[in-house]
Amino acid sequence: MIFIKIILGVDHQGIKIKDSIIEYLKKNAINVECSELKNFDADDYPDFALDVCKKVLNENCLGILICGSGIGMSIAANKVKGIKCARVFDENDAFTAKNHNGANIIAFGINLDLEKIYKIIDTFIATKSPCEERHLRRIKKIDKIEQGLYDEL
């Protein structure tokens, strides 16, 4: 059995579905740890994104970020070196994010119904990391861009 750990971060909008997601993950034997930052009515999604990113990198695990749309969380997360966060809308996005792009975090908004969210999470967890040369080549280019070393145009 493969040990899977998910770090979950939600802002004041994501809190609406946080408990359902935690319950779902635990029911499916997925170890879930939540950001320890406190939620309040005017909390700021970049704080939760940064907290989750640090934990994902330190613990070499996967992350899930939830805000109103998933856009702000994904933008903030992608500012952290070593993070590849994709805002996903369906299972195909989750598969492609991880298998083609090496995503270690997904982000989505609260506008999705829970059954769809569960399918997205299941797909993200079950999908293998990239192994095809074309995907690995592209990911290396992304890493070079992140390091300021890519100038192959």
Q: What amino acid positions are annotated as catalytic residues?
A: 67, 100
**At a CB cut-off of 8 Å and minimum separation 6, what does 60 contact?**
none
CA distance 9 to 74: 12
Residue type, 41: D
- Cα torsion 110, 111, 115, 117: sign: negative
CA 99/CA 84 separation, integer angstroms: 12
